[in-house]
Amino acid sequence: MNNEIKDIRWIQRFQNFEKAFKLLGQSINIDNPSEVERAGLIQFFEMSFELAWKLLKDYLEEEGFIIKSPRAAIKQAFQSGIIENGHAWMDALKDRNLTVQTYEEKIAIEVDNKIRDSYYPVLAKLYDDFKQMINK
């Protein structure tokens, strides 16, 4: 990868996203997690999601869009065909906001299941798509 490509902001953001996403992947592989392991899974999801929407923001801004919020990044990325499942992304945003502000075991279990069934797959698709763009 040449220096010009390394200096592109979204590529730098992707590198940070990749680290958090890989930790999330390790957490996903824990069957029957303890409360502490579940909290770690949720924390890695929060970090991965935060970096994912900022990756989208950086990429879209390089394409000429003005993005002011996670919701705007998700909407524009969906409209631009960068992401496919806009509803899952919006649900992930809602749950990320919920888990950041409070911790209840019942909510943690529900969010754990959503991360495994819905949010991790959309983050994995984003990871794969951007990894391919970088490797071209």
State pLDDT tens for residues 39-53. Answer: 999 999 999 999 999
Angle at 133 between CA 125 and CA 136, to 5 degrees: 135
Report the predicted TM-score, pTM, of the whole model to 2 decimal places.
Answer: 0.91
Query: How far apart are the C-alpha atoms of 132 and 110, rounded to whole Å?
Result: 32
What percent of the chain lies above the pLDDT cut of 90? 81
CA angle 136, 56, 124 (to 5 degrees): 70
What is the CATH number for 78? 1.20.120.330
Q: Give how many domains the chain has, as a whole number.
A: 1
Is residue 45 within 8 A of residue 115, CB to CB? The reply is: yes
> Domain range for residue 107?
3-135
Tens digit of pLDDT for each residue in 101-127? 667 888 889 999 999 999 999 999 999
Q: Token digits for 48?
A: 């991965």
| Helices and strands in the chain, H and E counts | 7, 0
